[in-house]
Amino acid sequence: MRYVSTRGQSASNTNPSGPTFSEILLGGLAPDGGLYLPESYPQVSRSELEQWRALSYAELAYEVLSRFIDDIPPDDLKELLRRTYTAEVYCNGRVRERAGEITPLHWLEAPDPARGEGGLAILELSNGPTLAFKDMAMQLLGNLFEYVLAKQREEINILGATSGDTGSSAEYAMRGKQGVQVFMLSPHERMSAFQRAQMYSLHDANIHNIAVRGTFDDAQDIVKAVANDRAFKARYRIGAVNSINWARVAAQVVYYFKGYLAATSDAGDDDRQVAFAVPSGNFGNICAGHIARMMGLPIGRLVLATNENDVLDEFFRTGVYRPRATAETVATSSPSMDISKASNFERFVFDLVGRDPTVIRALWSAVDAGCGFDLSGTPFLARLPEFGFVSGRSTHADRLATIRGAFERYGLMIDTHTADGLKVGSEWRTAEMPMVILETALPAKFEETMVEALGRKPERPAALHGIEKLPQRVTVMDVSVEEVKRFIARQLG
């Protein structure tokens, strides 16, 4: 497997043909500031897909990820996946009909071909330790980091940014890991009380929380600026766990395959298409769906759902990508999507423009200058339908109505972000294919809005009762690259 940067310059310390998976895992961004992708997407045939129906999640993960990872011995990779995807790790206390499933599919409306109904389902992705879909990839990243670092006898200092869920998922996955320190930036007072408590109540010596007085975009810009300072990055061995890290996105590809197989289990036709609706902020989750589709998974539609911060919806409707300034990025009741500069969007646009790094460098030069770009008058936009994307937005009022409707109609309590996905996904339903909504988190993480919508508190796992009352440890600072660098340097001596 050869990897390339979206901006055209890849480098490797050991391999003349380009960086290995393990080098990308530890490095995060490419040296030119671009994002890594496979030189070409591995293909999955319909017959292979049919053979995968009976596999466990860990076994399916091996079949998918072994096509991207060729520098970890097969037996070692299988063992890493077996240790990661277990019922013990993904059993947050939610009662499930099918015990042991990592990502159960829950039908809200079963398909009825005789009546021309494609069906509507929720794919449960929030059974991990932090009650968010980020655990699906982050638990694997923790084990991959520990494995690779031990093999290479190295250490790494992870710098990341979170809008709410990545931080806790990363910290729970990395806490206590040998050779790993975590520095996690979050937007000060822009996450739910539960999200803050999940992160800030961790007192492990290798976990460092930093709250910046700004938005997630400000925090993400700091992470990228530090990563692009090659001297600082090399001196302090800075790595990444955000979805700019290719390993995160690759791990998320797996649950699209699992969701497709579950949604078509009784179809009797492996050519049947499925639509996925994905709440989207940083574009990493739906980017994994794009990659699964490029690999040959029969995804008929990728429905991108935004909240009031609708930069991505605007692009897919108009061809204009116009990231908002900090002052224009509003705080919403689906805070993990309060993002106006989606890092992983560059990966998709790279494919959209024919994988031309010259075009990407020009477009992202405009993005970095605060201008954005307009593809509406270019041949590139005419290619957009080839990739199956449609989009829509959801507001606070929509969110409350969708949460109430799901509870009244299906007896199901969903979180605010999943509500955005259900609202927009329902608007794009067709009779030809099932619509699968990707669950983002459990309602317990957004208790205030759930009470507003339903007049009752959501249930939470017993181990997380009273988490907001635990002592919290966090350093608050202004939006400053240099201040973050100084903090990292002090902690590392």
The CATH number of residue 286's host domain is 3.40.50.1100
Residues in the chain, pLDDT under 50: 95, 97
CA dist list (Å): 143 to 118, 149, 174, 176, 191: 38, 10, 8, 11, 27
Please report whether residue 209 resides in a domain.
Answer: no
CA distance 19 to 4: 8
Can you give the pLDDT at residue 10?
65
The residue among 32, 492, 461, 433 whose CA lies nearest residue 227 is 32
Q: In this structure, is residue 5 part of a structural domain? A: no
pTM score, whole prediction: 0.92
Residue 94 domain-assigned (yes or no): no
Which amino acid type is present at position 465? Answer: H
How big is the chain by its Cα radius of gyration, in Å? 21
**What are the pLDDT digits (tens) for 413-456?**
999 999 999 999 999 999 999 999 999 999 999 999 999 999 99
**Could you tell me if 322 and 311 are in contact, meaning their C-beta atoms sit under 8 angstroms apart?**
yes
Residues 42 and 23: their CA atoms lie apart, in Å, by 20
In the three-class reduction of DSSP (H, G, I as helix; E, B as strand; rest coil), residue 347 is classed as helix
Residue 302 lies in a domain: yes
Q: So what's the pLDDT on residue 227?
A: 87
pLDDT of residue 244: 86
Q: How many CB atoms lie within 10 A of CB 347?
A: 26
Active site residues: 134
The pLDDT value given to residue 97: 47
Q: What whole-number distance in Å separates Cα of residue 410 and Cα of residue 343?
A: 35
Residue 307's nearest CA partner among 276, 266, 287, 336 is 336
State the DSSP string of 162-189.
-SSSHHHHHHHHHTT-TTEEEEEEEETT
Give the orientation angle of helix 345-352 with respect to helix 357-368, to 10 degrees: 140
- Does 155 reside within a domain? no
Find the domain containing 327 and state its range.
105-131+247-454
Are 491 and 208 within 8 A, CB to CB?
Answer: yes
Examine residue 30 and state whether it is found in any structural domain, yes or no: no
Residue 53 inside a domain? The answer is: no
Overall number of domains in the chain? 1
373 within some domain: yes
